[in-house]
Every structure is written in structure tokens, then in C-alpha cells.
Structure 1
Amino acid sequence: MTSFLHRHPRVRLAGLLSAPLLWLGVAYLGALAVLLVSAFWSVNTFTGQVVREFTVANFRTILTEEVYRNVTLRSLGVAASVTVICVVLAVPMAFYMAKVASPRTRKWLVIAILTPLWASYLVKAYAWRILLANDGPMDSIFGGPGYGLTAVVLVLSYMWLPYMILPIYAGLERLPDSMLEASADLGARAGRTFRRIVLPILIPSVFAGSIFTFSLSLGDYITVQIVGGKSQLIGNLVYANIGAANNLPFAAAIATVPVVIMVIYLVAVRRSGALEEL
């Protein structure tokens, strides 16, 4: 048996990875299963105890109450806005890093992109709260935007921008310089070169980055609590029902909404090859 494993390193590697993958599957998929099951429970309004009897009342409330539809649409709008902003900022930055900067400069730029990820999430969020506050630096220079959805989109775009830059940078780095040079030698203008050569390679990388920016923005509630003012997104509703309302089944039902949205999104982008960029 030992000699067989030595002759077949892939089998040995699969055996080493099976235990962590099994644990990840049990912990992650198990947690989602518990979430889904508890979403079909209810809470006794008199005692506050969880009633473990099957009911679709929580989902009926989410689908029929206008406030929950508005919060879902608002959350989708914020996530989409953050993703678009990150794409607009990430493409030129990643292109410069991959195709213009020297190898030495490229290493320092990658470090600069990764450095904000080492800082605490709360430290960055509260730093932006100070920047956006009334009479704060941004208010005195630009006249806003203060607290609200605009501030949420701005802060989340800053938070998740590295997750968009890195996949695009990885995709562009695999693009041979010879293809760009050949396109220029054949007389193609920059716009046509971008559409015919760069864009087909760029799209899967953009989708890969959007998986992070879209999903992280869709479920975020800490930034909304800190700089969102009176705005409410899906994450805030989940947090409120876990805490003050003490309605865990309804919180679980709300939490399934971003999960379903992300499953649909992942299925939609799977054919683009984006998952291979992760």
C-alpha cells in the first residue's frame, strides 16, 4: 500500500486534502442546512420561545410585506453599485500593474493593494466615519456626502476594491505582450485591441472579482451600522431580528435571501469561466 502511494502522488495528495475538505463541507453546508431548517420555524409571541413546527409564514411575510421587498432591492442596488465602481477603478489600475509598470514596481504595487487588507475592518470603517462626519475632512473639502447610502457605497467600494483588482491583474498578467504588439503592428487602434483581445480575457476576471464584491456588499451590515445613517439593508434586518426582536427563525428566513441571490448569480456566471479565475 505504501509503495502504491509513493508511485501515485496524486492519490496521496487527495488523501491529505480529503479530511479538511470534509470538515469544510460539514461546517459550511451543515450551517446552511441548519439555517434553512430554522427558517421554517416560528416564535411564540407570548413566551418568546422558538416553536419547532414547519411553517412558511416567515417567507410569506418577506414576499408580501413591501418593506422587505424594498430592503432587498436597496441591498441589490448597493451591491451592484459597489461592483460597478470597483470594476471602473480596478481595470486601469490592474492594467497598469500588469502591462505598464516595471517588474520591480509591480511587486510594490501588489503589496500596496494587499496592505489595506491587513488592517482591521472596524478601524477602516470608523476611519471613514470620521472622514464623512459633519465638519469632517470630506465635508469641509467636498461638502459631503455625510451618512447614508452614498457613504455606504463609498466605504464598501474602498473595502472590497482589492478583491476586484487582484483577479483582473491575474487575468491581464496571463495576456502575452506579443498579442498586443501584433495587434498594433497590424494597424488596430487601441479601442479595437481592447475589444478584440483584452476584453475577452478581462470579462471572466471581472466576473470572478464581482463574486467577492457583490456577495460581501450584499450581506454587509457593519458598514451600514457605522456610516449608513437610517438606511437599512438585508444584513441590518438579520442583525435586528437576532438581537432586539429575538426572532431567530425570521432572521434565518431573511438570511436565506442573499444566499439564494448568490446561488442564482453563481449559476449565471459559471458559463463565463469566472469560477476558474478564483
Structure 2
Amino acid sequence: MTDHDTPDLPAGIEAAAARLTAAADSRIPCAPVREFLGREDIDAAYEVQRRISVGRSAAGARRVGAKIGLTAPAVQQQFGVFRPDFGVLFDDMMYAHTEPLPLNRFLQPRAEGEIAFVLGRDIDRPGAGVADVLRATEFVLPAIEIVDSRITGWDLAITDTVADNASSGAFVLGTTPHPLSGLDLSRVGMVLQRDGEPVSFGAGHACLGSPVVAVAWLARELAAREQPLRAGDVVMSGALGPMVPIGGPGRYRLALDGLGEVEAVIEEETK
């Protein structure tokens, strides 16, 4: 089947989920799944994501929040995909500042600097806006997301990355909470270093104008799909600058103006 053919969606959804699951289990990247879904059928791609997430939950993983992908223009340009998407965060993806991450849990990892929101109340209105996000947020943290793709060479259309849980891998949270009161997250500057060398620069306004706007977008999308954000959820609000390939072990330190720092430590592969 080519990208321009009309797929048999019920069978295609099952085939896409099976292919991505096999790639995750074997840690061997697979061919794109758009051949099963088409390039634009977002609902079909989210159904693949849902099925894989149900399987992970059945295997014992616990949902802890959600992530937004493809928010920064620099990242959209990197992949030629020009709309945001979202994925599910699980407890086995969550690491703390300086807690080692084994390299062999990933296939094709890349690092992004972000701001994580931790919610103190639900956001379940379909028309949720910025005010709802501001009221619901208990605090924010500096965070590094390790994005990963089960698809060979990051060869992505929007349906590929959506089906693949928004190219999720892991995330590392800082340990000093900051209330939103008085913060303008659109003006927060970002520097991401790899082993002491600056490798990515950005700012809050690159994330859909502000990370708060991005989280409001996510809240509406999830409420419309009857998967609303809940109190206690961690929300990774999207990249503030270009992602950086992780080619081996190293230390990735993110500094955010007014929000402190967080460090992801990528270890040698373990057996």
C-alpha cells in the first residue's frame, strides 16, 4: 500500500499497533505505520495509541499524566509536521533530577528542554482555557523529555508520531516546585547543555506562544476525547527549542530562567 491509498482502517489500526508494540519490545525500529492509517487520519492514529496504552496498563504500567508534542516551530521544522499532538505518560517513564537513565531502554533518543506542570485539580471542561490551567496548576518544574521513536530514522507523518504515543520515551523532573503566581512562562529562556556544552537554546514563547497556552490546548483535546486531565497529573508542556540527538552516555543539563535547573544522566547500556 502507498501513502495515497485508502487503508482498511479496522485492520490497519490493529496492524499499526502490532508493529509499534513489536518495535518497542524488541528495541528494533520499524517501518512507518502510515501505510496502515494514511497520512492524515488523526482519530485512527489516536486509536492505535489508545490500544497500546491499554496494553501497557494491563501489563502493570500506571498512567501519571500526559505530554504535548510538536509545539515548537524548530521541532516542527525538524520533522515537517506542523500541528501539535499528545501522548500518555506512565510511571516507568518518570525519573528525577540526576537519577540515571539506562541508554538501552531507548531506540533513537533525543533530548528536549521543557516546563512540566503538576495539577492540583481536574481540568475537565471541553472549552478549557488559560484561566482554567492557571487555576488548576499547583506548581511547575524544569524538565527534560527524552523523546524516542519506534519508527526507523524518525521518518514521520503526523499519524506515525500520534500512533507512537507522540514519540515518547522518558522524562526527568526537577525537584524544586515553583507556583505560577507572578510567572510569565512565555518569557522564560532555556539553555540545554550536553556535558557542559550548550547545544539547544529556546524560550517559552516558542511553545504555542506560552506553555500555558499549550496546556490549555491539551486540556481541550483530552476533554473532547473523554480522557480529561486530573488532579495530580504531570503535564509535559512541549519543547522550548530544538531537540538534541543522544548518541551515547552523557549529562544533559537544562537551565530555565527563574525556574532553576534539572539534569538527565544517560548511563552506559546495562544488561
Q: TM-score, normalised by structure 2?
A: 0.23
Structure showing the higher strand proportion among its residues: 2
Structure showing the higher helix proportion among its residues: 1
Q: TM-score, normalised by structure 1?
A: 0.23
